[in-house]
């Protein structure tokens, strides 16, 4: 008996409506459903649960959610056109034997660190 794929990730947010707009409209994640201040999105088979209504958010240090993409430069440009501000533009992070790892970092409205990543072959 062992662990397998993550089924769900919970992320606290101060305003469920604002978070729903950011993750759904700006980032383009498919919304699964909403129940009160809980908003659920599909992230490639893993559910992202945004738990709204928190008075204060401590966007944890050392925590980042990475979204796999293809054509990172085009994805970053598309997100910027929707108002997403990047802290670091797409850049090479590491050269691996079989691919180059590229990443770009940004934050959601509550300050959670997010990134897009591409394994360029």
Q: Whole-angstrom Cα distance, residue 92 to residue 119?
A: 10
Q: Is the pTM of this model over 0.75?
A: yes
Q: What is the domain-level CATH number for residue 2?
A: 3.10.180.10
* Claim to verify: residue 49 and residue 73 sit in the same structural domain: no
CA nearest to 118, candidates 106, 103, 98, 105: 103
Q: What's the pLDDT tens digit per position in 45-102?
A: 999 999 998 888 887 767 899 999 999 999 999 999 999 999 989 999 999 999 999 9
pLDDT digits (tens, 9 = 90+) for 25-34: 999 999 999 9
Same domain, 73 and 46: no
Q: Could you tell me if 70 and 113 lie in one domain?
A: yes
Judge contact between 63 and 113, C-beta under 8 A. yes
- What's the chain's average pLDDT? 93
How are strands ordered across the β-sheet holding 86-95? 64-68, 113-120, 100-107, 86-95
- Pair 22, 28: CB distance under 8 Å: no
Same domain, 4 and 39: yes
Instruction: Examine the fold and report which residue of 54, 75, 94 is the final residue of a domain before the chain moves on.
Output: 54
Residues spanned by the domain of 116: 62-120
Assess whether 8 and 36 both reside in one domain.
Answer: yes
CA end-to-end span of the chain: 34
Give the number of domains in the chain.
Answer: 2
| Alpha helix (H) residue ranges in the chain | 16-21, 72-81
């Amino acid at each position: 008996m062992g662990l397998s794929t993550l089924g769900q990730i919970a992320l606290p947010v101060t305003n469920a409506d604002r978070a729903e707009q950011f993750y759904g409209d700006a980032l383009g994640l498919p919304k699964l459903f909403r129940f009160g201040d809980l908003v659920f999105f599909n992230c490639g088979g893993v559910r992202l649960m945004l738990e709204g209504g928190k008075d204060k958010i401590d966007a944890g240090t050392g925590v980042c959610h990475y979204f796999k993409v293809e054509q990172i430069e085009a994805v970053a440009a598309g997100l910027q056109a929707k108002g997403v501000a990047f802290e670091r533009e797409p850049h090479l992070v590491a050269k691996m034997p079989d691919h180059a790892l590229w990443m770009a970092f940004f934050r959601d409205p509550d300050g959670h660190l997010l990134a897009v990543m591409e394994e360029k072959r």
